[in-house]
A and B are shown apart, each in its own frame.
Chain A
């Protein structure tokens, strides 16, 4: 079971970091801050999941974990509001 959890976390972390990379590329291409926000959010999540390795699993109840996730959510929300604020 531990192996399965470790594997799934690895998948999530790797996919999140990769997705983040794609979004940062889109940001470079379009200069649209929305993509920077998504890129940062997914990279934060990727690093966050990776850090699970150093903590006891399962542990989303751990404050440092959910504070970081909160940051990722707020970044996305801010970008969405920003996009709609202008005109």
Chain B
């Protein structure tokens, strides 16, 4: 397998913001298909996960301010929130790199310590900006 050089900012984004592969795929779904109505059920069907899992994933993404609930009706649907990415370039880069280099990106995600471990470390930070 040839080694791939992913862009540093993509690696950083994935390391810091993406917990699992379904999280990334959910984010990409909302980013790439903004016209769709992304209810929890719809996302669960497209991601091939349970509705509960999809709900958790979307909540996690919302907490990280990557997606948000719709401001108009219906307010239970999620949309991609672009405010975190000033130029819009990073998100597009992440999407492109994931599509092209799925295995290396997935490897980065899986090499991270599990979410619960990282949350344990975060628990000891006094300043909470989350």
A–B contact, 8 Å CB criterion (strictly below): yes
List A residues at the B interface (Cβ < 8 Å). 26, 29-30, 32, 34-35, 79-80, 83-84, 87
Tell me the dominant secondary structure on chain A's binding face.
helix
Bound-complex Cα distance A82 to B28 (A)? 36
Bound-complex Cα distance A26 to B124 (A)? 15
Bound-complex Cα distance A34 to B118 (A)? 11
Interchain CB contact under 8 A, B117 and A83:
no
List B residues at the A interface (Cβ < 8 Å). 112-113, 117-118, 120-121, 124-127
Bound-complex Cα distance A80 to B125 (A)? 8
Interchain CB contact under 8 A, B117 and A84:
no
Bound-complex Cα distance A79 to B124 (A)? 9
- Chain B residues, CB < 8 A from A83: 121, 124-125
- Chain B residues, CB < 8 A from A35: 117, 121
> A33 to chain B: closest CB distance in Å?
10
> B112 to chain A: closest CB distance in Å?
8
Interchain CB contact under 8 A, A29 and B125:
no
> B64 to chain A: closest CB distance in Å?
18
Given A26-B117, A30-B118, A83-B121: 13 more A-B contacts, CB < 8 Å: A26-B113, A26-B120, A29-B112, A30-B117, A32-B121, A34-B124, A35-B117, A35-B121, A79-B124, A80-B124, A83-B125, A84-B126, A84-B127
- Chain A residues, CB < 8 A from B127: 84, 87
Bound-complex Cα distance A30 to B94 (A)? 23
6 contacts between A and B (CB under 8 A): A26-B117, A29-B112, A29-B113, A29-B117, A34-B124, A83-B124
Interchain CB contact under 8 A, B125 and A84:
yes
- Chain A residues, CB < 8 A from B126: 84
Bound-complex Cα distance A32 to B113 (A)? 11
Bound-complex Cα distance A30 to B15 (A)? 11
> A8 to chain B: closest CB distance in Å?
26
